[in-house]
Amino acid sequence: MTKKFGDFTAVNNVSFSIEAGKIYGILGPNGAGKTTMISLILGIEKPTSGRILVDGLDNIKHKSEVKQLIGFMTQETIVDSDLTAYENLEIGAKLYHISQGEAKAAIERALEESELTEFKDKPAGTFSGGMKRRLYLVKSMLHDPKVLILDEPTTGLDVHNRVGMWKHIRELNGNGVTIILTTQYLEEAEELCNEISVMDHGKIIASGTPSELKRMVSKGQVVEIITNKESAQKIMRVLQHEFKLSPMVKDDKIEAYLESNSVALFARILGRLIKEKLPLVSISMHLPTMDDVFIKLTGSSLRDSVGENKSDRDRIMLQRH
């Protein structure tokens, strides 16, 4: 599909499919076209060319059926703060034409899931950020969608709420809900997603499982050694002279990049350090992080351009593009 706004191409000839029951991540710097793509899937924007099938149904031709299949949650928490938790869910249920009887049960269930039953008659405006977020999530799930789209679901949440949200997302996925999520947090994508697409300039520039993406960026691995400050220099010299590596030291932590044959090399390094009786707190080896992947794929320049987003309020307005 392609989506143009005047001369600007927000989504440029993108084609992909998402397997049912998976968690699919869309990563990309600001302005990459993530939000536009989501608007296209939601049917808020019509593609300039191309089409979107949800569960085999064209999302423009079968608008209302497809809308029933999709749940959506943005980075802003959309609840009516003047309405109570119960009223919020009640209106939410009616918007999806859930019958009166079913709605009642669904609302009770949603309140329980979000642990808001005891606050159901309190205005949502009096809730904490995390409570509102939970209310919003269960509201988005009231009509039991097969696909849940999450646009930066944990932006601005504290650690507890973030971990709670991750747990919730995994539970939903465990119940068979296909999840599409965009995120700025690379560790979140790595933690949750079965498959990730990296978008930039309206195109998908790479996709695969998190480890596939990492291998795409480099064949090697990173060894990380934690010791004490005094021994750090010694270890550094060993790695430099005997293994011809270029390690980086920060206080008591040494990191070195193993370009090829990394597993065997790792074993030799470990053996050598033990032989030297150098104190080791921990030694480990891992693939490059998602941060490395992201920077490598999209370049390291900052994308926050000045001028188009003058204020936060404008940013909210610009969400539509």
Partner 1 sequence: MTLLEDTLTLYKREMLIFKSHLRTNIIRSAMFPIIFIFFFGSLGSSSTNIHVAVVNYAGNPQSLSFINSLTTSRAISITSVTTQTDALNQLSGSTVTAVIVILPSFPKPSSGNPAVDVYYSTSNFAAVQTILPLIQQEAASAGSTVNVNQQPSATSLRPLYGTASNYVVFLVGGIISMTVAFGMTFGTGMSIITDRQLGNLKSFLISPISKNAIVFSKILAGMTEAMLYIAITLLIGMADGVGIAMGFVGLAWIFIIGGLVAVCFAGISVILASRIEKVEVYTIVAQVIVMPLWFLSGAFFPTTAFPSIMQPIVAVDPLTYATQGIRNVMMLGYYPLQAIALDMGVLLSVAAALLIGSVLLFKNYTA
Q: Contact positions toward partner 1, by CB under 8 A? A: 39, 42-45, 63-64, 67-68, 70, 72, 74, 76, 78, 80, 82-83, 87, 91, 94-97, 123, 313, 316-317, 319-320
Q: How far is the CB of 16 from partner 1 (least distance, A)?
A: 21
Nearer to partner 1 (CB atom), residue 85 or residue 196: 85
- Evaluate whether 232 touches 251 at the Cβ level (below 8 Å): yes
Which of 11, 3, 51 has the alpha carbon at shortest distance from 31?
Answer: 11
Which of 6, 29, 14, 1 has the alpha carbon at shortest distance from 184?
Answer: 29
Which of 166, 171, 187, 197 has the alpha carbon at shortest distance from 18?
Answer: 197
Nearer to partner 1 (CB atom), residue 301 or residue 311: 311
| Residues belonging to the chain | 321
Nearer to partner 1 (CB atom), residue 39 or residue 182: 39
Residue with tokens 């989501």: 38
Nearer to partner 1 (CB atom), residue 3 or residue 214: 3
Residues forming a β-bridge with 26: 182, 197
Q: How far is the CB of 77 from partner 1 (least distance, A)?
A: 8
Nearer to partner 1 (CB atom), residue 85 or residue 297: 85
Q: How far is the CB of 63 from partner 1 (least distance, A)?
A: 7
Q: How far is the CB of 100 from partner 1 (least distance, A)?
A: 11
3-state secondary structure of 203: strand
Q: What's the CA gap between 186 and 146, in Å, rounded?
A: 25
Sign for the pseudo-dihedral over CA of 205, 209, 212, 217: positive
Distance of CA 144 to the CA centre of its chain: 21
Nearer to partner 1 (CB atom), residue 42 or residue 278: 42
Which of 265, 260, 262, 235 has the alpha carbon at shortest distance from 250?
Answer: 235
3-state secondary structure of 132: helix
Q: How far is the CB of 137 from partner 1 (least distance, A)?
A: 13
Q: How far is the CB of 173 from partner 1 (least distance, A)?
A: 21
Nearer to partner 1 (CB atom), residue 100 or residue 300: 100
Q: How far is the CB of 317 from partner 1 (least distance, A)?
A: 5
Q: What's the CA gap between 204 and 207, in Å, rounded?
A: 7
